[in-house]
Structure 1
């Protein structure tokens, strides 16, 4: 490990800060920033190679941090950063043990009949990360994001996803209409004015599940390409469900049917 960096004007730290703060920088460089031990472990588990790993001086001698650093490939540069400087780079209230710059994983070509999740203009990082976490847990690995979605590899979405990104094939900037039109399985869109209950649908075969923006929902163009508009029954007093909750309910209704 290199000597401790004690100045925020260090060029490597300045680049790290740009990646944390600027979506254009992340997309242009095809990089992401992983905050904390758990995310770095998850990336290493799928053989992603960090270009640089910054270690918080306060945590550098901890046994769990030392064990993590021992897993780093030889191509990864490891730098220790003074406590006061490290805290200035992260947006977290409490500075994590490590920050790592990693390449964004590339989506693989899916099987034609693989079930998939299509997300249109999801704006809240917490919602998107939670949806990805639910998709990974429900084993729906193909995820398509419209150009209007928040950056899926932003630090906030990565934290909320808790490593789910590395279990999924994430297709950014997708033409959702083209993807939906080409899909040969059942196409379901969640809709408050849906004519049929989610629980009356057969989800056991290949499905494409479409969810839309937190405020406006799914666009008419995508609704017109779907086979059915489904609603989640809400007998209580609520106008609608959070999009991440709705996605989780739909995904795990599919899991329930597959296990029956």
Structure 2
């Protein structure tokens, strides 16, 4: 079975409306249980998991791109909607690049959390770039479980997917979790970065499984959760007030990696 190419020229076409809704509206993505992957490399990373794509949207110019041709050559039986340049540019969320999107079913959360394994917990992180960067960092550091509060940026939104660069596909992700009731049940040590903490990150023994708790960009970890965590400080000889949460997370996770490698 070959791919089916369908040209679309009208902005009020139902397929265009559907794509726009998935790109722009969190409630629509939730209702449809679908999301959008934008760009060749993110789509390739998804396909390597063995999961299927529902449909492709691209421009006529993208069809002439070698990477797109190689991607489509791997597939069959899928609709490929070819949008005019102006239609595509009006919907896209990515900067300049190869104009191709794929609609997929939003992956479901796993059945349960493994409380004996490393975890990264995100409380009310709202910047998609920070969330995506932390997902990439966790995946690189070997942490497989990500737990997100309700106020955290949607993991499967196009912007977080783009920032995560496919890290989501290798992680077990739990969203909309009530952290106030979950965190107190953990038997593993819970570490939270805090500028007021006395203990340095580099004084910790991180060779055993643990939980890393990262908080809101402006407010940090809530007081309720801090009561169930060990506050740690990242030494800053330069005297800056604080670090970006994604940078702080990377420093912590790779100090853990360093200790476990030795």
Q: Normalization by structure 1: what TM-score?
A: 0.94
In the alignment, structure 1 residue 252 sits paired with structure 2 residue 257: no
8 Å CA contact 2:6, 2:79 repeated in 1: no
- Deviations along 1:117-171, one digit per CA (max 9) or x if unpaired, are 1110001111111111101111111000100111222211111111111111111
Q: Return 5+ residue gaps in structure 2 as ranges.
A: none
Query: Partner of 1:46 in structure 2?
Result: 49
Q: Normalization by structure 2: what TM-score?
A: 0.94
8 Å CA contact 2:191, 2:232 repeated in 1: yes
Q: RMSD across aligned C-alpha pairs, in angstroms?
A: 1.5
8 Å CA contact 1:177, 1:225 repeated in 2: no
- Give the match's secondary structure for 1:58: helix
8 Å CA contact 1:87, 1:94 repeated in 2: no
Which of 147, 152, 168 is residue 150 of structure 2 equivalent to? 147
Which of 185, 199, 202 is residue 202 of structure 2 equivalent to? 199
Separation (CA, whole Å) in 2 of partners of 1:210 and 1:178: 14
- Deviation of 1:51 (Å): 1.3
Query: Partner of 1:102 in structure 2?
Result: 104
- Deviation of 1:95 (Å): 5.7
- Stretches (4+) displaced over 6 A: none
8 Å CA contact 1:119, 1:211 repeated in 2: yes
Separation (CA, whole Å) in 1 of partners of 2:81 and 2:73: 14
Matched positions, count:
258
- Give the match's secondary structure for 1:218: coil
Query: Partner of 2:231 in structure 1?
Result: 229
- Give the match's secondary structure for 1:69: helix
Separation (CA, whole Å) in 2 of partners of 1:92 and 1:166: 19
- Deviation of 1:68 (Å): 0.7
